[in-house]
Amino acid sequence: DDLPEFVAVFGPGVIGLELGQALTRLGVRIRMFGVGGAIGPLRDEKLRANADRVFNEEFYLDPDAKVEKIERVEDDNGAGVEITFIERGSEARLTERFDYLLAATGRRPNVDRLNIEALGLKLDERGVPIFNRHTLQTRLSDDTPSHVFIAGDANNDLPLLHEASDEGRIAGDNAGRFPDVRAGQRKSTIAVVFSDPQMATIGLSTAEIEQRYGACDCYAVGEVDFTGQGRSRVMRMNKGMLRVYGEQGTGLLLGAEIFGPRAEHLAHLLAWSHQQRMTIEQMLEMPFYHPVIEEGLRTALRDLNANLQLGPAIVERCMECGPGD
């Protein structure tokens, strides 16, 4: 009943994008500001560029904004926020007044008031205890584990509900059976942003793949552009892209990033395949109905399969760069 007219959103991450786009579709004008070029969880530069263009068709988004001043103001028009920034595209210096500023720039674990230093735990640069991802056990030193276990938002490793649930089970089991600590199963990573188009990440990102393999050509990429994908066109949701990554030599699925229609469902198919350590050829042997968006996934897999080099000689060369698991 009482929507603002103009809102500044800082942080084009998961929360900023979801709430900012929702406000836009409720009739609120927004400007969205980011730092460093990040858009949601996307790490693939080609998908970032695509998402940047698509979102800017609907609202102003500058993922690497130059903001010079933010000031709370109050006058005859009431309270508001005044922001001075360099406008993207025109490079003009603007000062605009907003009804509200929505700060969606991230959170940090609320551990600074627990006096955890008294436990002698080894902390990282953020003041969060260093822990083993498979046991959730913290450490007193590099060689000495402690009796404290940390899970969920407290460790801020993967702040997602399903990950927190898995971590809580592992940490609770190990705390209950201590000192008989056992590694728990960590599932393939999957994350979804409920923007429109949706975003999703599965398995390893391009940055993680490149960190693992370095500069060598030990992985290949396949893609589909949803602009011409049949079912997406029929539904008038034909925006975005899907990119999948496979390991040279073995043909194993390494990961994927999606910016497109029904990404939440495509992401589950990919995460299940990644969890089962399926090859691209095995995935292509699965049935694909017509006409469905999943046919776009098949297009990307076919593209990736054509770009892969398979065989023991390639596997041996790639193993010199990094492990395939």
What pLDDT digit, counting tens, does each position of 61-116 carry?
999 999 999 999 998 878 999 999 999 989 999 999 999 999 998 877 777 788 88
- Is the distance from CB of 229 to CB of 241 less than 8 angstroms? no
pLDDT tens-digit profile of 165-200?
999 999 999 999 999 999 998 899 999 999 999 999
Higher pLDDT, 319 or 96: 96
Please name every residue paired with 98 in a beta bridge, in sequence order, or none if there are none. Answer: 81
- Do residues 23 and 51 make contact, with C-beta atoms less than 8 angstroms apart? no
pLDDT at res. 109: 73
**88 within 8 A of 65, measured Cβ to Cβ:** yes
pLDDT number for residue 324? 47
Q: Is the dihedral of CA 77, 83, 85, 89 positive or negative?
A: negative
Please check whether residue 129 is in contact with residue 137, taking contact to mean a CB–CB distance below 8 angstroms: no
Residue-wise burial string across 8-28, b where 16 or more C-beta atoms lie within 10 A, e elsewhere? bbbbbbbbbbbbbbebbeeeb
With cut-offs at 50, 70 and 90, classify the pLDDT of residue 47: very high
Residue type for 227, please? T
From the list 15, 20, 317, 282, the residue with the least C-alpha distance to 160 is: 15
The gap from C-alpha 106 to its chain's centroid, in whole angstroms, comes to: 13
Beta-ladder partners of 242: 224, 258
| H/E segment holding residue 95 | strand 93-98
pTM across the whole model: 0.88
Query: In this structure, which amino acid lies at residue 206?
Result: T
Least confident of 28-37, 56-65, 83-92, 303-312: 303-312
What's the pLDDT score for residue 323?
Answer: 55
Question: In the numeric block, which tokens belong to residue 115?
Answer: 């006096």
For the residues of 237-284, what is the DSSP string, one character each?
A: ----EEEEEEETBT-BEEEEEEEETTHHHHHHHHHHHHHTT-BHHHHH
First to last CA, the chain: 53
Contact 45/37 with Cβ under 8 angstroms?
A: no
pLDDT band, residue 317 (cuts 50/70/90): low
Distances (CA, A) of 128 to 62, 73, 107: 31, 37, 13
Q: Which domains does the chain have, with CATH numbers?
A: 6-103 (3.50.50.60), 116-177 (3.50.50.60), 190-319 (3.30.390.30)
DSSP 116: G
- Choose the weakest-confidence range: 107-111, 204-208, 278-282, 288-292: 107-111
Mean pLDDT for the stretch of residues 285-301: 96
Name the pLDDT band for 325 (thresholds 50, 70, 90).
very low
Q: How far apart are the C-alpha atoms of 212 and 215, rounded to whole Å? A: 9
Q: Tell me the backbone φ, ψ of residue 299, rounded to 5 degrees.
A: -60, -45
- CB neighbours of residue 272 within 10 Å: 14
**How far apart are the C-alpha atoms of 261 and 281, rounded to whole Å?**
24
Tokens of 53: 């263009």
- Residue indicated by tokens 């999943």: 294
At 215 the pLDDT is 66
Report pLDDT for 76.
Answer: 83
Q: What is the pLDDT of residues 118-147, one digit of tens each?
A: 889 998 888 889 999 999 999 998 889 999
d(CA 270, CA 203): 9
151, 177, 185 from 169: Cα distances, Å: 9, 12, 10
Mean pLDDT of the chain: 92
